[in-house]
Amino acid sequence: MALFQGSGVAIVTPMKADGSVDFEAFRKLIEIQIEGGTDAIIVCGTTGEAATQSHEEHLETVKFCIETVNGRIPVIAGTGSNCTETAIYLSQEAERYGADGVLLVSPYYNKATQNGLYEHFKRTAESIHIPAILYNVPSRTGCNILPETVARLAKDVPNIIGIKEASGNISQIADVAALTHGMIDIYSGNDDQIVPIMSLGGIGVISVLANVAPRQTHEICQKYLDGDVKESCRLQLEAMDLCHALFCEVNPIPVKKALELQGVCGGTLRLPLTELEPAHVERLKESMKKYGVL
């Protein structure tokens, strides 16, 4: 059974002006997501700026999210690392706190071989008893999890149950679907490819867009799952301009600005991420107004 179907938000980590985590704003954002129909929360992923959090801070954020959600929807903790021992530690702690699953990004910088990726994911997943979702985002990690490796892991490791595919390569994603024969759930990792990936058997998205448009992102997925592909496609195309605006600079710079514009939380980022360029702020505002979320 799938960990979730539909729209999982890759939730931002709100921060105060001094860079510390703003837990009150985080609570507000979590409630907005649940009220907006979001189907799962993915905490401390790329969008959550986990890369610049200490392990203690990372785990505190995960624990707070799990306690705030309190079982209403699944919480999936980003626990990936380019160090296998660290990924195991973070995953075990997330399980201890009550996470419903973990999201494991491919090791970045090391540029592991496919055998290295296999061993990394296998050992990490086997160290816990909750489901694990692989996360393939070669544009950020410099490392591509090939379809054959995904299929091997799906066959050999029972609790590897899904993959967030953000390669952008539809042909590769089709190969994953063909080789895994339904053994692994596929989630779009790109908001502009939800419908194309669901047409290949995907069951939802792990979404940046959902931070600012939870109801709309849920509806794109739900319409498809309900069999109304035409309406799902229409909603996908309607969202395209905002999808592009949210990636006019590297994620999560634009989405944090979007949430600030909505009055949900501050737009503070941690270096080396910096404030959205003024011209891009205007582009983002225009797109949000057009889409009806500002």
88-138 pLDDT, tens digit per residue, is 999 999 999 999 999 999 999 999 999 999 999 999 999 999 999 999 999
Considering the domain boundaries, does residue 254 fall inside one?
no
272 within domain boundaries: no
Catalytic residue numbers read: 135, 164
Question: pLDDT by residue (tens digit) across 72-97?
Answer: 999 999 999 999 999 999 999 999 99
Q: Is residue 28 part of a domain?
A: yes
Of 125, 172, 123, whose CA–CA distance to 144 is shortest?
172
Q: What is the pLDDT of residue 1?
A: 72
Phi and psi at 187, nearest 5°, equal: -115, 135
239 in a structural domain:
no
Question: Is pLDDT of 37 > 90?
Answer: yes
Task: Identify whether 207 is part of a domain.
Answer: yes
Q: What is the pLDDT of residues 249-287, one digit of tens each?
A: 999 999 999 999 999 999 999 999 999 999 999 999 999
Structural domain includes residue 256: no
* pTM for this prediction: 0.96
In a domain, residue 19? The reply is yes
The backbone torsions φ and ψ at residue 126, rounded to the nearest 5 degrees and listed phi first, read -75, -10
| Domain enclosing residue 124, as ranges | 6-228
Per-residue pLDDT, 141:
94
d(CA 141, CA 132): 19
CATH number for the domain spanning 185: value is 3.20.20.70
How many domains is the chain built from? Answer: 1
The mean per-residue pLDDT over the stretch 173-182 comes to 97
